[in-house]
Structure 1
Amino acid sequence: MNEIAAARAELTLAGKIVVGPEVLVHSDPAYSDLHDSSVKQKLDALHLEKIDLADSVFVVNPGGYIGDSTRAEIAYAREHGKAIRFLHP
């Protein structure tokens, strides 16, 4: 969560419009009960819509970790010709 907040701030201060996930089901214990719900499916679809709006995608991947949802979002972004950058190679 801290790395996401830092990346959002850095990109915003660089003059970028940041559109990202607002509810992080996997990493926030407050939302753990949504992990396998229809709400999670709606959030996943919303993330893809946000990718559609974006010129590029910046992946915050602490230690190089990429989870299943993020992996699917990266594939979607690539299929739609979005430039993709990663916090960690």
Structure 2
Amino acid sequence: MSYPQLQTPEEMLAEAKRLLGINQVVVLCGSMRFAADMAEVAITESVFGALVLKPDVNMKVTHPLWADPAKAEALKVRLDGQHRQKIRLADLVIVVGSYIGDSTRAEIEYARELGKPIRFTHPEVDPARAGVES
């Protein structure tokens, strides 16, 4: 007797997005030093029909919500987790900027582990191109 193959959560998500008529979901990754560049990429992708998710909290800018160092560290951990959720939802990951720091490198590795297609605004910074597989 043959049993039907169960869909993976990723397959169920893709099917649900298709059934709901949800456009391609694009997530932007990169250092917040490139926030202005991310805004431009978000505009372009949105105009062409994508739903764009990006980091919206720049902890390099002073703000009362992360003025306390202990709260700031806890918030960073939570925001990193939220960004990984955005990557899981994404159909495409776009890495913005000419520099890849540790956080962005970890996001690239995570996206690759999930098999997400990745596009770079500056392909020369792709860790895989440098011979360092991520």
Give the structure-1-normalised TM-score. Answer: 0.85
**How far 1:67 moved relative to its partner?**
1.2
Per the alignment, residue 66 of structure 1 pairs with: 100
1:30 maps onto 2:66 in alignment: no
SS in 1 for 2:93: strand
**Equivalent of residue 83 in structure 1, options 117, 120, 127:** 117
Larger relative helix fraction? 1
Per the alignment, residue 57 of structure 1 pairs with: 93
* Identity %, equivalent residues: 45
1:18 maps onto 2:65 in alignment: no
Give the number of the structure whose alpha-carbon radius of gyration is greater.
Answer: 2
Where structure 2 has 5 or more consecutive residues not aligned to the other structure, the ranges are 1-34, 124-134
Paired residues, number: 85
Where structure 1 has 5 or more consecutive residues not aligned to the other structure, the ranges are none
Q: Tell me the distance in 1 between the aligned counterparts of 2:74 and 2:40.
A: 30
Runs of 4 or more off by more than 2 Å in structure 1?
30-34
1:44 maps onto 2:80 in alignment: yes
**How far 1:51 moved relative to its partner?**
0.3
**How far 1:2 moved relative to its partner?**
1.1
For the aligned residues, what is the CA RMSD? 1.9
**How far 1:30 moved relative to its partner?**
2.3
Give the structure-2-normalised TM-score. Answer: 0.58
